[in-house]
Structure 1
């Protein structure tokens, strides 16, 4: 039992490190896959308003709906039909019949999703609002390599005893690298990977 726990812990640690490395290697790819409802999945009697309130959605993220394919579905509807649980004329039907459907958040306006009318009245309705994507930090303007030559201290005479100058040199901090994602982007990738590491049961 102890060995299985350590193995699982090591696997999660490696996965988190791999995710962070991917974010650093590909800073322009910020999309996160959210399992709708977390461990509860897409089902009745779940407070999805509370769930979305604890998440931050950006343009390019994904919603992963996991549900009972024999009873429920994934319909995108208007705001009015969302309030009345009317799925007769959906804007889009994402149901493919496998109980595993993915929706990309590729538009900036609010999105509304429901299941069948009976399930919708039991709480299976989802309102998604996108937050503005944080801007990556800009690199500091680089200065000419020759601009600081006049401030260098001349070396001591040859006849003088040599003395270590290492402790007297104060190097400026390196400028930020352009294009790398801000810390909050890496943090939400790691957080989403941790919370979505286990799929909810069918």
Structure 2
């Protein structure tokens, strides 16, 4: 297994474990309003060691993701990161004492089997930089994602959840493609 794939899978583990740790910390803090949305909630949650550990794992996962994206095709890293859902399910069954059904365990096993097929099937990535139009389009899309996130707070629960989910998914794609378009740090520093 290549270093890139190992980094991608380790990143998925970091993200999955971080999600559960943050959920445990959020459950330990009571919401300050009836709707559960409280501007000070983040400050209260940050005092929980599990939440801080989750943030540290998110940061480590992101660094591992960047390393993987620099050496593997986007689809291989994206599929590997999707495995964080399986990691979340397994860790939640242990830390949150959630019972997974047979179908959910089968889904975890299927995800692992799919990843086992992607590892040998992923080929070499292209080494050519994207055109300038792609870079400008990516910047424009990033601004649209930011605008969606800013406007989502003004909507009711259901549309807000839909818009935030749309923004999060698009943001993930923007980050993955942007990492591939950015020149390596070593070549950037050589030009200085």
Establish whether TM, by shorter chain, passes 0.5: no
- Greater share of strand residues, 1 or 2? 1
TM-score, structure 2 length as denominator?
A: 0.23
